Amino acid sequence: MTRTAPRICPLCEATCGLTLVVDSHHHPGDGGEEFVTGARGDADDVFSHGYICPKGASFPQLDNDPDRLQNPLVKRDGRFVEVGWDEALELAVERLGRVIADHGGSSVGFYLGNPSAHTIAGTLYAPLLVRALHTRNVFSAGTLDQMPKQAASGYLFGHAGTFAVPDLDRTDHLVIIGANPVVSNGSMTTAANFPGKLNALRHRGGRLTVIDPARTRTARLADTHLAPRPGTDAALLAGVVTCLLDEGLVADDLGGIGPHVQGVDELHREISDLTPERVAPYCDVPAEDIRGLARAIAASSSAAVYGRLGTTAVEFGTLGSWLIDVVNVLTGNLDRPGGVLFPMAPTAPAPRPAHPGRGFRTGRWRSRVSGHPEVAGELPAVAMAEEFETPGEGRLRALVTVAGNPVLSAPDGGRLATALDAADVVVCVDPYLNETTRHADIILPPPRPSQTPHFDAILNNLAVRATARYSPPVLPLPDGRPDEIEIVCRLILGLSGVGVDADPGLVDEQVIAATLAKEVTDPHSPVAGRDVESLVAMLPDAPGHQRRLDMMLRIGAYGDGFGAREGLTFADVLAAPHGVDLGPMRPRLLTVLRTASGKVELAPDPLIADLARLRAAVDAENPADSDPASLLLVGRRHLRSNNSWMHNLPALTGGTNRCTLQIHPDDASRLGIDGLATVRGAGGSLTVPVEITADIKPGVASMPHGWGHDDAGSRLRVAAVEPGVNVNNLNDGTRLDPLSGTAVLNGLRVEIGPA
């Protein structure tokens, strides 16, 4: 028997709709169980219209991976043994509870990894687990990734979760800086079929500019490709900004939002010395090209400047992210179709009228050892190890991870691994026994994605077009097995003293009651003045997460306001297996601004102050000029990879998806390298196969991350065959963007020589 079922792909930010093929096997002994045997693009999906990439196509192998853990593992005398769910959950709560009782809540750290942005458990429940732990030691992949963008958005717009997203479908000029969406399928911009959208841009006569030290697959599509020295984009953008200001290229009335923007004059005063001519040698881009870029953006009928990992996981990440939006503002492209706009997700609270907010600030608390400021409630991931190692009051003694592999994904993972081995208790919610979880005491594995419901509560806030799509589980859960939502809820209930056996839905009922109690007292809420109990009574008799989603949708922008108006409910979404289309992004600047001034604050003090650090770098001598073996290391992604955790699928291994060091032929011959190279960084050295290619700028080396699967304690049998090496072992984790706490992963200085 074969059937099909729709399922949103959880494997990247593009959120494609898939059609899964489900077969029941009738081999003796398997009881006719159902398995996912195929995946293709769902042509009827309202967002992705049939698009699929190799990762999505590998869904069946991911779902059926024999290395996926079936039962909780508990470490006894240094060895993992399988135990039942009740026992594992009780043990986790008891051991975490003991650490909290003896040393306080902040002695337990929490690390949230990337895949949790793609699960209901990660988006709607993990934050509640943090609250139940009462800890300020919260870490995530965000400080290996987009935190600079969050900080910059916080300063500009007043909230670290308010992102301006390029209007890919309508722009006349897309400027991509430090991103390779043809391979990554886009990030901090949720758009299915990014490659198709770039082709459509070309077909409508639009222009593509790519700024990247590598001639990537994205750069190959560009009308203009600039290849700066890694780490220098903030300076290049400062050159663009001064050019716009000095040449009178600023849009009249900032394209209509002039009254809602403050700080243009102050910005002009503070940045005017960073001219294209001054930054050009540092960026290794001719001043005329920087001016040309500024003029081209200003001359475009609409333009959207978009930056990603090459602009965030760098030394001046927050400055770069800020200046990207400064260019969008100055050229009149903020909050207008074809420029950058603020998406309106269906589960975000309905927009409220303009009002000043409390503004954004960081450093409400600091990390104990190095004094790093908290940013958006988090401390730097690179600070985790020292918080464990350093004795004294407030020391970290335990860690809970959900969907993270920081031993591979963060700098200097070996040090973290040692710290985890010495910790009082480590609890990992993760489907694999891998480089990080093998240092756990308790592993709680979520079931297969096919057995898990899906809704993109976070990524919808970044989508180029609004949709509401929900995937129910495609296959039933095995008896007695909790899904990830239940795992997290039972941890929350255990830690709160209610008990791991309590009904997990209690967690949802509490959130629902608290949210609605606040809503009904807000005069601008669609349910202002209503009675909470009667609203609760209108929610479906359904699993807790569905009740919560129903509530969120109904008080959201497109919702029915609990019967107050025509609009969306969860039942409507459930009845539309390929999703409900809610239209393109629309201007809505006034409803998002939450700065203290109630305006876009273009020249925030912390960013203006950080320009001094940038100036010092611009004026410093480039070390590569004196040491020819010194190159700047950048990262790269592959179509058939996903950070550190999908090398275990046969369909994605082999071919060109390999862990190699790419360098330019001139560097290779100058350094006498072919075959193998030895790479040395501040954190250690590696030997790695070399790929010589003119697609890399001279003086730059590129290596992917997420490799190094040679750890005998892991259970990743396919990945171990071609393990690669861990690029993050070159990094000692001491360099970070001070405004966001984000690790420097791109633009690291390394020494390269023949092996």
With binding defined as CB under 6 A, does residue 532 bind ligand SF4? no
Give the residue among 283, 288, 184, 287 at the shortest CA–CA distance from 230: 283
* Partner touching 9 among ligand SF4, ligand MGD, Mo ion, none, CB below 5 to 8 Å by kind: ligand SF4
With binding defined as CB under 6 A, does residue 462 bind ligand SF4? no
Distances in Å between the Cα of 651 and the Cα atoms of 54, 118, 347, 365, 430 are 8, 22, 35, 45, 22
Cβ distance 164 to 342 under 8 Å? yes
Contact residues for 463 (Cβ-Cβ < 8 A; gap 6+): 15, 47, 165, 190, 191, 343, 345
Cβ distance 606 to 739 under 8 Å? yes
CB of 685 to Mo ion, least distance (A): 26
Cβ distance 59 to 18 under 8 Å? yes
Q: Closer to ligand MGD at the Cβ: 72 or 332? A: 72
CB atoms closer than 10 angstroms to residue 162: 18
**Strand 207-211 to strand 173-177: parallel, antiparallel, or no bridges (unpaired)?**
parallel
With binding defined as CB under 6 A, does residue 53 bind ligand SF4? yes
Only one of the segments 5-13, 301-309, 563-571, 607-615 lies at the binding site for ligand SF4 (rule: CB under 6 A); that segment is 5-13
Place of tokens 């129910």: 472
| CA atoms within 13 A of residue 96's CA, in its CB half-sphere | 33
Q: Which alpha helices (H) appear in 65-193, and where do they start and end?
A: 85-103, 120, 126-133, 147-157, 181-184
What DSSP state is assigned to residue 541? S
Contact residues for 424 (Cβ-Cβ < 8 A; gap 6+): 95, 98, 99, 397, 398
Q: Closer to ligand SF4 at the Cβ: 41 or 142? A: 41
Q: Closer to Mo ion at the Cβ: 145 or 430? A: 145
* Partner touching 115 among ligand SF4, ligand MGD, Mo ion, none, CB below 5 to 8 Å by kind: ligand MGD
Q: Closer to ligand SF4 at the Cβ: 61 or 569? A: 61
CA distance 683 to 750: 10
With binding defined as CB under 6 A, does residue 661 bind ligand SF4? no
CB of 442 to ligand SF4, least distance (A): 30
Q: Closer to Mo ion at the Cβ: 187 or 362? A: 187
Contact residues for 671 (Cβ-Cβ < 8 A; gap 6+): 628, 629, 677, 752, 753, 754
Q: Closer to ligand MGD at the Cβ: 137 or 644? A: 644
Q: Give me the residue whose beta carbon is nearest to Mo ion.
A: 145
CB of 140 to ligand SF4, least distance (A): 20
**First CA to last CA distance, the chain:** 55
Among 5, 6, 9, 133, binds ligand SF4 (CB under 6 A): 9
Give the residue among 417, 374, 320, 430 at the shortest CA–CA distance from 733: 417
Question: Contact residues for Mo ion (CB under 5 A)?
Answer: 145
Among 15, 140, 451, 746, binds ligand SF4 (CB under 6 A): 15
3-state DSSP call for residue 408? helix
Taking residues 177 to 196 in sequence order and writing x for each that binds ligand SF4 by CB under 6 A, - otherwise, the string is --------x------x----
3-state DSSP call for residue 411? coil
With binding defined as CB under 6 A, does residue 463 bind ligand SF4? no
CA distance 254 to 264: 10
CB of 331 to ligand MGD, least distance (A): 19
Among 36, 42, 56, 309, binds ligand SF4 (CB under 6 A): 56
Question: Contact residues for ligand MGD (CB under 6 A)?
Answer: 12, 113-115, 119, 141, 144-145, 177-181, 183-185, 187, 211-214, 216, 228, 230-231, 233, 308-310, 314, 402-406, 409, 429-432, 434, 436, 446, 484, 634-639, 641-645, 705-706, 727-728, 745-747
CA distance 197 to 175: 14
With binding defined as CB under 6 A, does residue 428 bind ligand SF4? no
CB of 514 to Mo ion, least distance (A): 31
CB of 286 to ligand MGD, least distance (A): 16
CB of 84 to ligand SF4, least distance (A): 34
With binding defined as CB under 6 A, does residue 14 bind ligand SF4? yes
Kindly list the residues in this chain that would bind ligand SF4 in the complex (CB under 6 A).
Answer: 9, 11-12, 14-16, 52-53, 55-56, 185, 192
